[in-house]
Structure 1
Amino acid sequence: MRRLLAAAALMTMAAACGTTQNAQPPAADPSPAAVQPLAWGACTDLQRPDGEPPEAKSTEVCATLPVPLDYAKPGGEKLNLALIKIPATGKSGKLGSLVFNFGGPGGSGVDTLAQAGKAFSVLNARYDLVSFDPRGVERSAGVRCGDGAEMDAFSALDTQPDDAQTQAETDAANKKFAGLCEKDSGKVLPYVGTVNAAQDMDRIRAAVGDPKLNYFGMSYGTQLGAVYATKFPANVGRMVLDAPLDPTVTFEQRTLVQTAGFQQAYESFLRACVKEKCALGDDVPTANRNVDKLLSRLTTDPIKVGDRELTQGLASTGVAAALYSELSWPLLETGLAEAMKDNGEILLYLADSYAGRNPNGTYNTQMSSFPAITCVDNAERPGAAELERTEDAALKISPLFGNAGSGSLCSVWPVPGSDEAKHVDATGSGPIVVVGGKGDPATPYEWAPKLTAQLKTAVLVTYKGEGHGAYMSGDRCVQKTVDAYLNDGKVPAEGTTCPA
C-alpha cells in the first residue's frame, strides 16, 4: 500500500454518496445545553490491540450519546457516539472531566483509554478521564471499506519498484477501496469531518455536566481541539495539544514534511542500533544497505508467515509503525534481523498493529476512518500531475518512505471535502498549551510553532526527545509541566523546553 502515514498517537500506546452537504459549513448546533445526561454502565466490548478483551476493571464505565448525523438538521437522524469514563480516584479537589482524543484520525478513544488509562494516574486523581470513538470510528457508525480479505489485499500492496506497473496497481487499488467505502458506509461519509466532531465534543461537554471543556488532544486530536477552540472559545477550559498538526498544510506539504520526519527517525534508529552490537550491520551505511536489500527482495519473494505473506509493502509499513516510539526500536531491530533470515512474524505483527488487523483476520476501522476523515477535511482533490510531482519529491527525500501521501486516495474519494477545519484561531479562548517534539516523525516539530502562532491564546512547550507524542514518552519534565497546567492551572512560561 502507498502508506497513509496517519498522524496517530496510537502506536506509542500499543509497544454511495455523491451528495454535497459537507461542502458548505454546517450550521452551529443550536441547543447543546439540551443534551440529556449520560447513562453510564458496564463496558461490554473493549478490545486490546491483539483483538482480545482486556482484563476486567471495575472502574471503567461506558455510555452512548445520540448526536445529529447532520448538524444542519439537528432534529433529524441521529448517530450514537460511544463513550468511556474512568472515574476520578481522588476524594477531594475534583475538577470535572478531562476529555481525550488520542489521534488518527480514526483511532478508537474507547479502546485506547481502556488500554492507556494508567498512564494518566496523576490527572485521574482529580478528573474523570473520558474518551470516545469519534463519528465514523468503530462503535460510532465506524466507516467500513470491504471485508478482511479485501483489506488484506489493500494493505499488502508493494510500493516498490517505482514504475508504471506499480503505479497502475496502486491507482486501481485506491479506486476499488474508495468504491468499497461508498458501498459499505456511504450514508455517513459526508458527515465524519472534524467540524462535526468538534460539535459532538460540545455535546459531550454538556452531557458530562461541565461548563467548560477540559481537553487533552494528541496528534490529530490537536486539530480537533483547535477546531473546537475556534468554534466554541467561550467553552474552552484547560486544553493541551500534544504532537500538533498544522491544519493549513496542503497534501503535498504534509507528505513531504512527514516523509522527512520518518526518514529522520529511521536514521536515528540506525545510529542508535550501531552504537551497540547491531544485528543489521556494523555501521549505518551497511545496516541501511541490508534493510534496502531485504525490502527489494520482498517485492519478488515475499516471506511466508503461516497462511499469509510478508510483502515489501507490509514490511515497510511495519518499519514505519515502529518509528512512532523509541521504545519500539529494539523490536524493529529484531524484526528486521529475523526477516533477513526469512522469519517475517515480527514485521507482520507491527504492520498489523498499525493497520488495525485482528488475529482473526478482521480489521478495526483505523485504515478506513483515516482517509474518510482526512478527505472530508480537505477540499483538495489532486490531479495526476500533482500526485506525480509529490511522489517524485518524496522519493528524493526517502526511497523508503516516499509516496504520494493521502492525496492519492482523496483524489478518488466519493464525497467532496471542505477546508473549514483548516482555519483555526481560538480567539477568545482560555490558555492552550501546545507540546511539540523535536524527534517526532509523524507530526514534525516545525508544525508545533505554526499551530501555536495560529492559536492566538496558545503557548509552546518544546520536547527535545524522540517519538510521536511527548507526554506518552514518559519524560518527567513534560509530564510535570502538563500535569501542573491541567491540575493547578499553571500555564508554562514562553520558551519552556524539556531536554531529551
Structure 2
Amino acid sequence: MNFRVALALGTATLAVGALAPAAAASPTGIGWEASCAAGYECGHLDVPLSYQDPAAGTVRIAVGRLPATDQARKLGTIFYNPGGPGSSGRFAPALTPALHARFDIVGFDPRGVGASAKIHCFTDPSQLEVLQRALGTFPLTRAAERQQIADTRTVTDLCEQNAGPLANHLSTGTIARDLDRLRAAFGEPKLRYYGKSYGTYLGETYANLFPARVGSLAFDAVDDPVRWSTGSAPMSYRLQGFADAPRALKSFVDACGTRCTFDYDKILDQLERGPITVTDTTGRQIVVTYQSAIARIHNHLTDARSAPELAAFLQALADPASPAPASPGGPPDIDSMLGGGATLCSDAANPHDPAVWWDFARRADQVGRGFGPFDVYKTLPCATWDVTDTGRYAGPWNHPTAPILLIANRQGDLETPYAGAQRTERLLANARLLSLDTYGHGSRGKSACIDAWLDRYFGTGTVPAPGTVCAPDRRPFG
C-alpha cells in the first residue's frame, strides 16, 4: 500500500471503523483511589500471590487509567507495558492522538515494581554500596571479574534472605495472568495491548497462555521468546543485542558525516588505558571510564534522535576541551530494579557458574566491541539468585491467535535486535512485522507512518502487507 494513503486512512479508519462504540463498563474489583497524577485515574487490583496455590494470599497491582477524550464514541480499552522488566507502567502515554481519543489506555505496575507489591532486599543503607559495584558494569580484568562475582553474590544472598515469598512469584507467566485479571476487571472480552521491549515478551506470553482472548496486540521492539526463555548460554548473550550495535553505530557515523572528526576506535583504545576527564555543559567535571562510556553510548544509540548528543559526547572524549552534554537520568528505584531482576532470573535459563560469563563476554566483545560485555554481564545475578516460579511459561509460542502486529527498527536495535523480530514473525502463529527504517529502540512516536498503522490496527484489526517499511519523521541530526 502507498504509505501516504495509509497515513491518510489511519485516523479515518479508527473514527468510522467496524468496531462500534463500547458500552461504558464499570470495572469490577478495582479499588479506586482519591488522588492521582493529573489526567489519570488511579486504582489497584488484588490478585493471587500464586495462581497454582490460591491459598497463598494476594498481592496488590497498581493501576492507572488515561480516559479516552471522546467518551461518547469510545471503542474500549488498550492495556500498556513500557518494558523492563522493572519499569513502572502505571501512567501510560497517550500512544497516538487518535488512540487517546477513542480508547481508555490502562497502565499498571507489574508485581515487584513501582506502587505494586515489591520485594526489599536491603535492611541497611550501607548495603547499597555493594549494589553499585555489582550491577550496571562489567569487568576488564580477571581481578575485577572476581570482585564483581563476589559483590553480585552478596547482593543475591541479601535478596534470598530478605525478599520474602514474592520473589518466587515474579515470572512473566504469573504477570501475564495478572494482566488477564486486569482485562476481566475492566470488562474487556478480549485483550487490546501495546507492549514495548520486555513488554513484547509479556504480550507473547499472554498470547500463548490465553490465545482465545487475543484481540489486538502490538509489540514494539520485539524480544525473541525462545531465546529469552531457553538455552544453555547466559540469556543476555542469547538475545544478541550487542550484534546490532555495529549496525546502529555505522548508521550513526554515516549520518554524522563530516560533523564527526573523532576516531571512535581510538577513543575506546584510550579509555581502555584509563579514564578520561571531561567538562560538561554545566561546568561540572566528569570522570568517564571505559564502562561508563559504553553505557552512555549504548543509551544514545537507543534513539536516533539523540545523535547530536552522542556526537558531542564522543567529541568531548576525543578533545577534552570540547564540552560534553550533561549526564541524564536520576537515581533508580532499587526495589523495582531488583524486582525486575527476579522476573528475569525466573524466566530465563542461565548457567549456575558465574565464572562462565567471562568467556561469553569475550565472545560477544568480538562482535560488538564494549557492547558485548556490557550486555552479557546484565544477567550475572541469575547465576547465584535461586528464584523459581511454578507459574513460569516457556512455550510453545505458536498457538493460533488473531493477527498480532510486530514493529522493529531495521537499522539496528541494541536492546531487541532486528533479527529477533524477524524470527518472532516466523515463530508466532499469526504475526506481521512492520519495519521502521532507522536505528534505535522502539518505533512509536518516531514515524507518522508507524503511528497511522497503530491507529488502523487497533481500530479495525488490519495489519500491513508483508515487508512494509516506514520512514522516520526525522533522520539523525535532523
Confirm or deny a common fold (TM above 0.5): yes
Moved more, 488-497 or 148-157: 148-157
Q: Answer whether contact 1:155 1:313 (CA < 8 A) is retained.
A: no
1:467-498 superposed Cα distances (whole Å, 9 cap, x missing partner): 111223x2122111121010222232333222
- Could you say what secondary structure the match of 1:62 adopts? strand
Match of 2:439 among 455, 461, 466: 466
Match of 1:437 among 402, 406, 409: 409
- Could you say what secondary structure the match of 2:177 adopts? helix
> In structure 1, what is the Cα distance between the partners aligned to 2:58 and 2:207?
24
Output the TM-score relative to the length of structure 2. Answer: 0.81
- Alpha-carbon spacing, 1:277–1:499, altered in 2? closer, same or farther (3 Å): closer
**Cα drift, residue 270 of structure 1:** 2.9
* 1:87 has 2:59 as partner: no
**Cα drift, residue 71 of structure 1:** 1.2
- Alpha-carbon spacing, 1:71–1:289, altered in 2? closer, same or farther (3 Å): same
> In structure 1, what is the Cα distance between the partners aligned to 2:258 and 2:389?
49
> In structure 2, what is the Cα distance between the partners aligned to 1:37 and 1:429?
28
1:170-226 superposed Cα distances (whole Å, 9 cap, x missing partner): 211221221232234232111110000000001100111111111111111111111
- RMSD between superposed Cα atoms in Å: 3.0
1:390-449 superposed Cα distances (whole Å, 9 cap, x missing partner): 122112113311223444221111324679533143524221111222122211111112
* 1:244 has 2:222 as partner: yes
Q: Which residue of 2 aligns with 1:14?
A: none
> In structure 1, what is the Cα distance between the partners aligned to 2:336 and 2:409?
24
**Cα drift, residue 316 of structure 1:** 2.3
Q: Answer whether contact 1:87 1:127 (CA < 8 A) is retained.
A: yes
> In structure 2, what is the Cα distance between the partners aligned to 1:179 and 1:306?
37
- Could you say what secondary structure the match of 1:192 adopts? coil
Match of 1:255 among 216, 234, 237: 237
> In structure 1, what is the Cα distance between the partners aligned to 2:454 and 2:294?
34
> In structure 1, what is the Cα distance between the partners aligned to 2:253 and 2:203?
35
Match of 2:175 among 197, 200, 217: 197
User: What amino acid does structure 1 have at the position aligned with 2:320?
Assistant: K
Match of 1:314 among 264, 267, 292: 292
- Could you say what secondary structure the match of 1:402 adopts? helix
Q: Which residue of 2 aligns with 1:267?
A: 250
- Could you say what secondary structure the match of 1:106 adopts? coil
Residues 85-484 of structure 1 correspond to what in structure 2 (within 5 A)?
85-111=65-91, 113=92, 117-146=93-122, 147=125, 148-155=128-135, 157=137, 159=138, 161=140, 163-249=141-227, 250=231, 251-252=233-234, 254-255=236-237, 257-273=240-256, 275-278=257-260, 281=262, 286-294=263-271, 296-298=273-275, 310-338=288-316, 341=320, 346=325, 349-350=327-328, 353=329, 357-358=330-331, 363-365=333-335, 367-383=337-353, 386-403=356-373, 404-416=376-388, 420-425=392-397, 427-438=399-410, 439-472=412-445, 474-484=446-456
**Cα drift, residue 366 of structure 1:** 5.1
**Cα drift, residue 60 of structure 1:** 0.8
User: What amino acid does structure 1 have at the position aligned with 2:407?
Assistant: V
> In structure 1, what is the Cα distance between the partners aligned to 2:197 and 2:353?
27
- Alpha-carbon spacing, 1:452–1:413, altered in 2? closer, same or farther (3 Å): same
**Cα drift, residue 151 of structure 1:** 3.7
**Cα drift, residue 307 of structure 1:** 11
* 1:60 has 2:52 as partner: no
Q: Answer whether contact 2:96 2:455 (CA < 8 A) is retained.
A: no
> In structure 1, what is the Cα distance between the partners aligned to 2:265 and 2:336?
30
- Alpha-carbon spacing, 1:414–1:186, altered in 2? closer, same or farther (3 Å): farther
- Could you say what secondary structure the match of 1:239 adopts? strand
Percent identity between matched residues is: 29
Moved more, 184-193 or 196-205: 184-193
Q: Which residue of 2 aligns with 1:40?
A: 32
Q: Which residue of 2 aligns with 1:78?
A: 58
> In structure 2, what is the Cα distance between the partners aligned to 1:191 and 1:102?
20
- Could you say what secondary structure the match of 1:109 adopts? coil
**Cα drift, residue 345 of structure 1:** 7.4
Q: Answer whether contact 1:245 1:447 (CA < 8 A) is retained.
A: yes
> In structure 1, what is the Cα distance between the partners aligned to 2:401 and 2:452?
23
- Alpha-carbon spacing, 1:145–1:298, altered in 2? closer, same or farther (3 Å): farther
> In structure 1, what is the Cα distance between the partners aligned to 2:440 and 2:416?
10
Q: Answer whether contact 1:85 1:130 (CA < 8 A) is retained.
A: yes
**Cα drift, residue 277 of structure 1:** 2.2
> In structure 2, what is the Cα distance between the partners aligned to 1:205 and 1:364?
29
1:115-140 superposed Cα distances (whole Å, 9 cap, x missing partner): xx244322111110111111111222
- Could you say what secondary structure the match of 2:450 adopts? helix
User: What amino acid does structure 1 have at the position aligned with 2:348?
Assistant: N
> In structure 1, what is the Cα distance between the partners aligned to 2:267 and 2:289?
16
Q: Answer whether contact 1:227 1:424 (CA < 8 A) is retained.
A: no
Q: Runs of 5+ in structure 1 lacking a partner? A: 1-34, 45-55
> In structure 1, what is the Cα distance between the partners aligned to 2:325 and 2:49?
40
- Could you say what secondary structure the match of 2:226 adopts? coil
Q: Answer whether contact 2:235 2:350 (CA < 8 A) is retained.
A: no
Q: Answer whether contact 2:89 2:109 (CA < 8 A) is retained.
A: yes
1:323-343 superposed Cα distances (whole Å, 9 cap, x missing partner): 111112222222344455289
> In structure 2, what is the Cα distance between the partners aligned to 1:75 and 1:417?
16
How many residues align? The count is 431
User: What amino acid does structure 2 have at the position aligned with 1:453?
Assistant: R
- Alpha-carbon spacing, 1:414–1:398, altered in 2? closer, same or farther (3 Å): same
> In structure 2, what is the Cα distance between the partners aligned to 1:385 and 1:153?
17
Q: Answer whether contact 2:87 2:337 (CA < 8 A) is retained.
A: no
> In structure 2, what is the Cα distance between the partners aligned to 1:267 and 1:143?
41
User: What amino acid does structure 2 have at the position aligned with 1:268?
Assistant: S
User: What amino acid does structure 2 have at the position aligned with 1:277?
Assistant: R
**Cα drift, residue 309 of structure 1:** 5.7
> In structure 2, what is the Cα distance between the partners aligned to 1:402 and 1:212?
40
Q: Answer whether contact 1:109 1:132 (CA < 8 A) is retained.
A: yes
**Cα drift, residue 295 of structure 1:** 5.4
1:258-306 superposed Cα distances (whole Å, 9 cap, x missing partner): 1111233233323333x1422x51xxxx23312442454229x899997
- Could you say what secondary structure the match of 1:421 adopts? coil
User: What amino acid does structure 1 have at the position aligned with 2:295?
Assistant: T
Q: Answer whether contact 2:278 2:286 (CA < 8 A) is retained.
A: no
